[in-house]
């Protein structure tokens, strides 16, 4: 039996690579072979899935303090994660964040460093942001746009939120009060007008432009392509090629709900598996009851209890997958 292990991270518990390795161990116990393909959807974890950092830069953090950021440059392609430069965790979470002040300047500095180091293609993962600045901080920090001529800039998005809607949809998660949400929405509306006048791009009409508080839209205004993060990762790691002769694909994430099937890793793997005619098993930390009832879903919380699911996630993934394989 050949099994493709293509999970997302279990946020706060295990990386995608660790979960894939746990699946592979279970497959080996059953005498099969496994291909480990840890996945991401454009948010946190993208850099690790695409090879991990091999460079470090000191840039401006979301609240102005310097932060040391790992990023990757290989074969002319750079990979950066905005969360490492302007992430909510760096701002101390929603309680420590200053939603009106949080800036993407560090992301722009990373892009400048990547181009100065010779990158001709840059992949930007945009999940986990502290910011709702519409990407203005990044654009101001990128330096002369002429240096990006001929550079392919790809923004890997895990949401389809529109530019102005970013304040209402994500602002509260970043600590914004209702009054601040209204102020941020007004700022994004004005920025959309500025970008239309300055760059002749109407970011308000672009799906995904609201990702990372509008950073995606800001980058699109200066020529970036906004792409589905999962599809980009799937292409980079060759998911469809590995599924051609597979007997099973195992995916999963920390928490499964209806949105998991809408542009996230689980839904993306499901689509690829269906196209290849390969059965799928979903192993997750926990799940909403309506999706936990699906026949291909194993919830660690439901099977082993919440405490064990949180403290023993990896051995339980291995145990659950081995048990499912033994039934096949």
Assess whether 73 and 30 both reside in one domain: no
**CATH code of residue 267:** 3.40.50.10350
Question: Is residue 177 domain-shared with residue 121, that is, in the same domain?
Answer: yes
Tell me the C-alpha distance between 265 and 2, whole Å.
20
Q: What was the pLDDT predicted at 259?
A: 86
- Residues 255, 214, single domain; the answer is no
Residue-number span of the structural domain to which 120 is assigned: 46-230
Quick one: 51 and 24 in the same domain? no
Q: In 3D, which of 213, 140, 228 has the Cα closest to residue 173?
A: 213
Q: Do 82 and 179 belong together in one domain?
A: yes
CB atoms within 10 A of CB 12: 10
Q: What is the pLDDT of residue 244?
A: 95
pLDDT at 142 over 90: yes
CB atoms within 10 A of CB 224: 22
Check residue 294 and give its pLDDT.
Answer: 85
> Which two tokens mark 63?
């609240």
pLDDT at 158: 86
**Do residues 265 and 144 both lie within one domain?**
no
- The answer to whether residues 108 and 225 belong to one domain is yes
- 199 shares its domain with 257: no
- Say if 240 falls within a structural domain: no
CB of 89 within 8 A of CB of 107? Answer: no
Whether 206 is in a domain gets the answer yes
- Identify the band that residue 16 occupies on the pLDDT scale cut at 50, 70 and 90: very high
Q: What is the tens place of the pLDDT at every residue in 188-212?
A: 999 999 999 999 999 998 999 999 9
**Residue 293: other Cβ atoms inside 10 A:** 11
Q: What is the largest CA-CA distance in the chain?
A: 62
CATH code: domain of residue 140 = 3.90.1510.10
Mean pLDDT of all residues in 240-269: 94
Indicate whether 262 pLDDT > 90.
no
The fraction of the chain above a pLDDT of 90, given in percent, is 92
Domain boundary among 168, 201, 230: 230
Between CA 188 and CA 141, with CA 120 as vertex, the angle to 5 degrees is 35
Residue 145 has pLDDT above 80, yes or no: yes
Report the domain count for the chain: 2
Query: SS3 for 79?
Result: strand
Asked if 210 and 65 sit in the same domain, the reply is yes
Q: List beta partners, residue 14.
A: 10
Tokens matching residue 210: 């609201």
pTM to 2 decimal places: 0.91
pLDDT in tens, 32-91: 999 999 999 988 889 999 999 999 999 999 999 999 999 999 999 999 999 999 999 999
In a shared domain, residues 225 and 269: no
What does the pLDDT read at residue 293? 87
Q: Do residues 147 and 29 both lie within one domain? A: no
Q: Residue 96: pLDDT above 80?
A: yes
């Amino acid at each position: 039996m050949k099994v493709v292990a293509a999970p997302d991270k279990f946020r706060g518990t295990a990386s995608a690579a660790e979960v894939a390795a746990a699946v592979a161990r279970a497959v080996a116990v059953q005498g099969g072979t496994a291909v480990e393909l840890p996945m991401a959807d454009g948010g946190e974890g993208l850099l690790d899935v695409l090879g991990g950092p091999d460079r470090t830069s000191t840039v401006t953090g979301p609240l102005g303090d310097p932060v040391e950021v790992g990023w990757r440059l290989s074969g002319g392609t750079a990979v950066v994660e905005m969360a490492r430069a302007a992430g909510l965790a760096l701002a101390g979470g929603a309680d420590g964040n200053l939603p009106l002040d949080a800036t993407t300047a560090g992301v722009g500095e990373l892009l400048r460093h990547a181009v100065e180091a010779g990158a001709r293609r840059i992949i930007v993962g945009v999940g986990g942001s502290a910011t709702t600045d519409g990407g203005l901080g990044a654009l101001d920090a990128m330096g002369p746009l002429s240096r990006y001529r001929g550079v392919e800039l790809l923004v890997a998005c895990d949401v389809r939120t529109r530019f102005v809607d970013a304040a209402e949809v994500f602002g509260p998660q970043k600590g914004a009060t209702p009054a601040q949400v209204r102020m941020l929405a007004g700022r994004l509306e004005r920025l959309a007008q500025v970008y239309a006048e300055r760059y002749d791009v109407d970011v308000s009409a672009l799906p995904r432009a609201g990702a990372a508080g509008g950073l995606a839209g800001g980058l699109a205004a200066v020529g970036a392509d906004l792409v589905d993060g999962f599809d980009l990762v799937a292409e980079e790691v060759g998911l469809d090629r590995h599924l051609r002769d597979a007997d099973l694909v195992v995916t999963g994430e920390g928490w499964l709900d209806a949105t998991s099937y809408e542009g996230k890793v689980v839904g993306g793997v499901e689509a690829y598996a269906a196209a290849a005619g390969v059965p799928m098993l979903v192993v997750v930390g926990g799940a909403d009851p309506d999706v936990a009832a699906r026949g291909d879903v194993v919830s660690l919380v439901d099977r082993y209890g919440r405490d064990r699911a949180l403290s023993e996630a990896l051995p339980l993934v291995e145990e659950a997958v081995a048990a499912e394989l033994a039934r096949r």
